[in-house]
Every structure is written in structure tokens, then in C-alpha cells.
Amino acid sequence: MPSKKQLFLKIFHAAEKKYSKSTKRLAGESWEHDWQTLIATIYSAQSRDELTIPVMQETFKQLPTLKVYAAAPLSQIESLTKKINFYKTKSKNSKATAQKLLSEFNGKVPDTLEQLTTLPGVGRKTANLILSELHNKNSITVDTHVHRLSNVLGLVKTKTPHETELALQKIAPKKYWSQINRIFVLWGKEVRGRDKKKLLSRLK
């Protein structure tokens, strides 16, 4: 029986080979400004990237700077983002986050988990993504795809994304932590459900 670390490496390298060259953009990637990455990631929760990206592109055209976004009427932000799931809560949180970035962080996106999770609408998943995407820190971003695949493949046996994050930290070499989310999300988007054989067949 291979160890969990060996199993992870075997699966991860196969998935990396399949998906690392993909040009598909995820919602938390390739924004011009750091604050846009943060705001877009807040909106991406429980929303498809294919919808989130164009909606946020248009939103940032209308509200092009952090100061403008923070000062915008909540009704305007809601109107721009109403196609996204839970847009009212996300709009309220994103505006409050923009204001807090200006008032407490000099307009900069903080670079620690502790500071990031003080921002409205920012939990561990969003914070970890920001740490790896913007600050080049080793962190494991666990969304529904990472949580599902890790359990179905037998890498972990966990009930919550936080438990999955901690379990993966024990078996995944740190140099791969920041790559796990993108690879597993691209894989998970192709294969829904909890069929292990179907998941692994995509890697052949």
C-alpha cells in the first residue's frame, strides 16, 4: 500500500500533466490590480467562473479604482453584479472590504491569513487564494472541487474544507501547495459527482 504522500504525488503529477497547460482562466486570476483579485474572489464563491469573470470585468470598468469602488452606492454595486449568486451579501461585503483596505491597510491587500480574514466576506478559502495568487506564499486553497476530489480519491477523509486543508498540508510537499487549487478545480469542473473511476479516467 502506498503512503498517502506517495498517493498524492502520483495523482497530483498525473493531474498536473493533464491540466497545467490549460489556458482556462479562473475567477481569482489575471486581474490588473490586487484589490480586483480580492473583490472578484469574494464574488466567485458559489458562482461559476464563466459568469463571475465577465460580470466583474464590467463592474471594474464602471468602478475602476479602489477609492471609486469603496465610495460607490451599494445599489450601484448590486445592480452591476446582480447576475451572481448571493450578490446582495457579496456586494455589501465587497464594499465594506474596499473601505477597510483604504482605512486600515493603506489601500493594500494584506499578506497574512489573520489580517485577510478580518475583511468582510473573506474566509480561509479566499484568504489562502490571495496569499498564493498575490503574495507568492505557500497555501492550500480548498474550495468544493478540492474538498470533493481529495475525499473521493482517498487522499483525505474529512468533513469540512478546513479539515481538508490541514490534512493535505500533511501529505502534500509544500512546493505544490499553491498549485493544488487550480489543477483540482480544472479537473473537478470536467468531472462532477463522486465516481472515482470516472475521475481517474480523465487523467489517461
Catalytic residues: 125
Name the grid cell of 80: 452591476
Q: What phi and psi values does residue 58 have, to the nearest 5 degrees? A: -70, -40
Give the position of cell 507568492.
Answer: 136
Q: Where are the beta strands (DSSP E) in 14-145?
A: none
Q: What phi and psi values does residue 139 have, to the nearest 5 degrees? A: -150, 150
Report CA-CA distances (Å) from 98 to 33, 49, 188: 13, 21, 31
Alpha carbons 100 and 201: distance in angstroms, whole number = 46
